[in-house]
């Protein structure tokens, strides 16, 4: 490992970047250096600019991927190499604004009918029933389930923030059924049987179930269920938020449940809910209403 790479990793650790972000940044910076066959400390802003154009025009990468690469390179130069280059020196590619894919309640029920595996079904129902990210759901521990208060504790979710989400009676029933079946089938490690902090969804190897394993189960069910929509675990989270909004739940409550830092991130669900749009009253209908005797 080079000294620069080691310092780069240490800087990311000191600033609390998530392990997945660290791996992504290391990959992008390595590809950047490999492209020029030079250490990044010997490259300048023009090299960064040309590499961005290469990714966009030659590699045909998405704006999201190009911007992620730019963030990694920016971190390297600003934090590790301590270059006096401001954020304006690292322009971002404008991303097209797309509405999230949302399933109706009937489509959600149809989708779950095709999910195979008791553990996969329990994890995906947690994503929909509590609006959790897949990375948060697979990392749950038994002690995070607070059934007396009907809450689930999410420890160190995105942005390294703790929060509570709802635990509905039906989801609690699903988790209890899964847990009893897992114990009966001896799917849980014997040495962890009495540990209250054990993983709720353990892997058969070590640690907890991986997000990629659940993603694959989700793709399989999506292909079989006959719905012409791309369904991912995050689609279930989008559907959770939209259905809450249609039920009249305050958008600030939804913001807290989803763990959004900004309200405008949550507000985009109003654009995908036809019920909310249809129930809005046009100002034309209220014009002149106060003048009537």
21 half-sphere exposure, CB direction, 13 A CA radius = 17
CA dist., res. 2 & res. 41, Å (int): 12
Q: Out of 119, 121, 237, 243, which one is annotated catalytic?
A: 237
Whether 186 is catalytic: no
The residue among 91, 97, 46 whose CA lies nearest residue 70 is 91
CA dist., res. 235 & res. 239, Å (int): 6
Whether 234 is catalytic: yes
| Cα 139 from chain centre | 13
Q: Kindly report the length of the chain.
A: 293
Whether 237 is catalytic: yes
Q: Out of 121, 133, 163, 238, which one is annotated catalytic?
A: 133
3-class secondary-structure state, position 74: helix
Contact 69, 29 (CB under 8 A): no
Dihedrals φ, ψ of 229, to 5°? -140, 145
The residue among 5, 120, 143, 22 whose CA lies nearest residue 71 is 22
CA dist., res. 218 & res. 120, Å (int): 8
Whether 269 is catalytic: yes
Q: What is the DSSP string of 85-124?
A: --GGGS--PPPPP-PPP---HHHHHHHHTT--SHHHHHHH
Contact 71, 102 (CB under 8 A): no
Whether 180 is catalytic: no
Whether 133 is catalytic: yes
Q: Out of 158, 198, 208, 268, which one is annotated catalytic?
A: 158
The residue among 231, 254, 259 whose CA lies nearest residue 104 is 231
| Cα 194 from chain centre | 31
Cite the active site residues: 133, 158, 234, 237, 260, 269
């Amino acid at each position: 490992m080079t000294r620069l790479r080691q310092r780069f990793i240490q800087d990311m650790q000191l600033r609390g970047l998530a392990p997945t972000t660290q791996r992504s940044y290391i990959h992008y910076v390595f590809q950047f250096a490999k492209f020029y066959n030079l250490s990044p400390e010997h490259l300048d802003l023009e090299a960064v600019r040309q590499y961005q154009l290469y990714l966009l025009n030659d590699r045909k990468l998405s704006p999201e991927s190009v911007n992620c690469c730019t963030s990694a390179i920016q971190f390297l130069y600003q934090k590790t190499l301590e270059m006096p280059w401001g954020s304006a020196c690292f322009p971002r590619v404008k991303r097209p604004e797309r509405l999230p894919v949302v399933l109706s309640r009937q489509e959600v029920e149809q989708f779950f009918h095709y999910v195979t595996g008791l553990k996969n079904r329990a994890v995906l129902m947690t994503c929909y029933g509590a609006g959790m990210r897949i990375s948060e759901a697979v990392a749950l521990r038994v002690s995070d389930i607070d059934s007396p208060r009907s809450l689930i504790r999410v420890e160190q979710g995105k942005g390294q923030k703790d929060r509570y989400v709802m635990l509905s009676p039906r989801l609690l029933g699903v988790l209890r059924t899964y847990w009893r079946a897992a114990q009966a089938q001896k799917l849980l490690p014997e040495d962890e049987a009495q540990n209250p902090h054990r993983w709720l969804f353990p892997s058969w190897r070590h640690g907890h179930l991986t997000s990629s394993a659940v993603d694959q189960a989700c793709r399989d069910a999506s292909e079989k269920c006959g719905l012409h929509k791309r369904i991912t675990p995050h689609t279930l989270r989008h559907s959770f938020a939209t259905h809450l909004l249609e039920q009249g739940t305050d958008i600030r409550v939804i913001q807290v449940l989803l763990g959004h830092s900004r309200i405008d991130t949550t507000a985009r669900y109003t654009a995908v809910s036809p019920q909310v749009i249809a129930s809005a009253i046009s100002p034309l209908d209220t014009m002149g209403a106060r003048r009537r005797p």
